[in-house]
Amino acid sequence: MSTVRKKVTQFYNALNRMLAGNPEPFLALWSQGKDVTLMLSLGEREKGINSISKICRQVSSVLGESPARITVKPKEYQVREEGKLAYAVIMEQSITKIDGREAESLNRSTLIFHFEDQDWKVVHVHNDNVTPVQETLSYILRHKNFVAAAPARPAAKKQTAKAPAVTKPAVANGAVAKKASAKVAPRKR
């Protein structure tokens, strides 16, 4: 197993520890630079190790005290190493357990590593969710025979609607009065 592949394994072990309330092993994997970045599916866009450390500790604290237990594992991935840079492109499975129930989701993740101080350090993480609609469309696009075997659909009839009339607001006693004069044709089915 390559050193980068081992680092991916370490990343997921440390990520799961962070999700259980201990962020330090996860943060130890990161480069300490101002230009490291973290972009997660919940909207976090952090730049710099101080910002990343703060959000990771916050997330870890909240989830560590939560009844929900989240684990993430790579389902399939590939790595590429070139000089002092390496990346991993990963399809990962996230499992959330709470009150005896379990929910799974599929995520895409990209990890970028930089070789420094005789070790591969994380310099970028980007993660987003894969919805069932996206997965279905991806399957259709990847399986030509599936598309060819699908029955042809009749062309949809073109629907037209009149655009609403644009009018200037009438002014009365110094106040603007709204004037409704728009008519839209109903949709035909």
Instruction: Please write the tens of the pLDDT for every residue from 67-88.
Output: 999 999 999 999 999 999 999 9
pLDDT (tens digit per residue) in 105-119? 999 999 999 999 999
Q: Are 112 and 85 in contact (CB under 8 A)?
A: yes
Rounded Cα gap, residues 42 and 36, in angstroms: 18
Indicate whether this model's pTM tops 0.75: no
Query: Residue 169 pLDDT > 80, yes or no?
Result: no
In the 8-state DSSP scheme, what is residue 13?
H
Q: Are 105 and 129 in contact (CB under 8 A)?
A: yes
In the 8-state DSSP scheme, what is residue 38?
E
What CA dihedral angle connects 32, 35, 36 and 37, to 10 degrees?
Answer: 150
Domains, the chain, ranges and CATH?
Answer: 3-141 (3.10.450.50)
Q: Are 70 and 19 in contact (CB under 8 A)?
A: yes
How is residue 46 written in tokens?
A: 């952090």
The backbone torsions φ and ψ at residue 58, rounded to the nearest 5 degrees and listed phi first, read: -65, -50
The position carrying tokens 């598309």 is: 147
- What band does 18 get if pLDDT is binned at 50, 70 and 90? very high
Rounded Cα gap, residues 59 and 54, in angstroms: 9
Rounded Cα gap, residues 133 and 57, in angstroms: 33
Residue 17 or residue 40, greater confidence: 17
What are the distances in angstroms from CA 96 to CA 55, 103, 105, 106, 186? 20, 5, 9, 12, 45
